A and B are shown apart, each in its own frame.
Chain A
């Protein structure tokens, strides 16, 4: 695939006329997707897709086109020629773009993790064997993922990994389930069996009679997965410089009024520690780390090239959507094994679900508990909790309500498969909070 991409770029180099130049972004994968329900196969299949996004520049005029390609340079070179011709005709209708910022310095990079994956059928066999006698539902995605960037200046960036991501739930009944995942670059049967046994162990707790609690404020422990849902809301225009500048970020008050979060909160976009490519769609290289919250203070934002040009500031290689793809929250001091004891009496929340802003500018969030959420008394899990809706302030949950972050952190690999398999990840601890507000 890498040589095919280089051949595409060479073809584009040869098609440029005087005054023209280009950039292109390749997004491709060859993925097995196997869907399970009730410990049986629901939909197994394979998707092989190659998309090329080509931008043609003529001075400050430019136009973008994305096409699906077949994967053979002999056939696709003619498709490229048609793309160039179409973009050339479009540009004539377009004005100059005052917010165009180009990556003109050449920074070529290459990151290749050769496939060490077994045949996907081997993983499927292991999953079905383990799931026998249980009610398992979920998805296995496996195979190589490719990202490439090239431009007229000679920059070439290539990112290639082959990974698997098994994301599953074990159900007890109705909506009571344990959620688990196992992802990586090399399948390890023993590691999978350990994770599966852990999930089965938690199932025993779900078999107790579930309880409901009245709306109100409760102490709560949020696992890394649950906390990730809350921090993920910062990708809805939170840490985006454009959203801050246009007064649409929920973090505006942190910038305007120097409002601070708890000093334990240090949040970064940590590309060097994540799985996403270190280059973005316009060819800018991402720094290893961009600190967003530093000990509770808003210390930075994600600045795309377009935002940088519009507001006359420097870009930090952010994607066009100015969202985190390699989130990292600094560890705290609470030993994970003390989490239940420190919670004492309250709610242990394994997963949150379907978050949204109920009052964006005041940082108010709502969402639901999901999967294995438990009522805890005296540091002991008593019973599964029926789903509850929370509505609380981001500023307070990460501010005065935050009692501690765990010393241990968990690496969560994004399971998102909308359009293509995500390369996102999050490394973060669990959180102990007080007065977590449930409303329904």
Chain B
């Protein structure tokens, strides 16, 4: 992967761009490699090289885009012509007069910080995965297992005809390991950070250490067997202690999506849904208890969705969204801010060169509090600790939710007790966060994320990051399996 992008595209774009109100080009180059060992067999090695560009034209109040993998002069000329046609065709019939929205003109460069440990050669990585795989089958009841490593390098160039020029380079690494144990009609799967790649970060080989990947095979397999032998999670209204591997999902679904400004403005109503949050709530609505503090934080370098500028060219800077439980600011980029009149953040992002930017949550974190894990457990008379998301479902206004986890432990009279399987809970976003009783300190804090946040028409799967401490909630409707 190149660490600089070719100057030829700069000169080509500037020589060909039409004389219109606004014109930009966003070039994306991405290389990826997926290594996986399943049941001690290397799965087909899969690599990818993606390269393409999207041009955007604003003219007469209309806005159009065209994306192409044809990076020749004629390919770019065709794209510019198509984008212009769509801009002109939508002029006067668009949801907003795009020509009246001042767009930034950034210049600069951002890169994932240099890693203290670069990735070893492929053969060594395969050996590493194979070693973990061979430690998984600790019992005949272990019926399936897989260890994997997904590495991605992405470079982006953003240019506008009025002088914007931003280069960004990212390196992502996603280790994962999952073990399935089965006995009779029951099957339990335990994973490292979730079956949907919760340990995804920017950086290098050090991420495996941070994720606890080395030696995970046996540990995760033993936990899968423990789950198989465990009773079902009890049912009832009780305290719920959520660990970061589940908190990331709780934040994502019931804070992140409801605060996305394009949802509030109605863009997503046909697909991803609307929001129970309305424009008039910002600045006064009590989203959660006074212990709830939520930030948009693109500046944590190791987190999955850190960046210097969003895909509309806005500078990415940390901002408070919820402070002391009060809703302050939505997740909305420049265009959404202009449409709503609200101050947002730099989160207009596209998943690739072939999709236009929309409001995405990027890094959305809960700030650490001052409770130790022991203190939170000690405060619980009857409850359940849940860890690692397994199941997620929420209504289209992001209110009524039901989530399930891989792993649970009973808490009784202030002490952690036995493991329980199939732990689930349900609630309503608008009231759930107000039942936040304690927020864990830095010792309980973990940086997680997911590569698979889906949204948009046409649809986009994008990277997001969620860092959180463990959090304790009161009076939650908890239940187990059938």
Contact = CB atoms under 8 A, between A and B. Distances in A.
B222 interface: no
Nearest to A30: B68
Interface string A377-408: 00000000001010101000000000000000
A354 B398 CA distance: 11
A89 B481 CA distance: 49
Nearest to B426: A440
A139 B90 contact: no
B144 A356 contact: no
A199 interface: no
Interface stretch (B2-10, B45-53, B285-293, B466-474): B45-53
Interface in A88-114: 90, 93-95, 97-99
A439 interface: yes
B126 interface: yes
A75 B47 contact: no
B48 A66 contact: yes
Interface stretch (B213-221, B312-320, B364-372, B386-394): B386-394
B69 A93 contact: no
Interface stretch (A33-41, A156-164, A185-193, A294-302): A33-41
B120 to A, nearest CB: 12
Contacts of A429: none
A139 B49 CA distance: 29
Nearest to A121: B89
A64 B49 contact: no
Interface stretch (B100-108, B158-166, B185-193, B437-445): B185-193
A64 B358 CA distance: 32
Given A46-B82, A64-B45, A174-B274, A70 B187 contact: no
B69 A418 contact: no
B274 A175 contact: yes
A416 B271 CA distance: 10
A124 B89 contact: yes
Contacts of B65: 43-46
Contact of B396 (A50, A353, A357): A353
A366 B402 contact: yes
Interface stretch (B14-22, B262-270, B374-382, B410-418): B262-270
Interface in A308-363: 353-362
Contacts of A99: 41
Nearest to B67: A47
A387 B396 contact: yes
A344 B62 CA distance: 50
Nearest to B71: A70
Interface residues of B, number: 78
The bracket for how many chain A residues form the interface is 35 or more
Nearest to B482: A362
Contact of A177 (B51, B269, B392, B422): B269
Interface stretch (A145-153, A216-224, A250-258): A250-258
A439 B425 CA distance: 12
Contacts of A47: 66-68, 354-355, 458
A71 interface: yes
B46 A138 contact: no
Contact of B70 (A40, A71, A121): A71
Contacts of B396: 175, 353-354, 368, 370, 387
A421 B271 CA distance: 15
Given A359-B482, A361-B185, A68 B144 contact: no
Nearest to B402: A366
A54 to B, nearest CB: 10
A411 interface: no
B269 A171 contact: yes
B182 interface: yes
A155 B352 CA distance: 32
Contacts of A65: 46-49
A118 to B, nearest CB: 14
B50 A247 contact: no
A50 B71 CA distance: 12
Interface of A: 31, 33, 35, 37-38, 40-51, 55, 62-72, 75, 86, 90, 93-95, 97-99, 121, 124, 128, 137-139, 141, 167-169, 171, 174-175, 177, 179, 246-248, 252-253, 256-257, 353-362, 364, 366-368, 370, 387, 389, 391, 393, 416-419, 421, 439-440
23 contacts: A31-B458, A40-B94, A44-B86, A45-B86, A48-B70, A49-B52, A68-B50, A70-B75, A71-B75, A72-B72, A86-B47, A90-B45, A137-B267, A171-B269, A174-B274, A247-B182, A248-B187, A355-B393, A360-B187, A364-B482, A366-B393, A368-B393, A387-B400
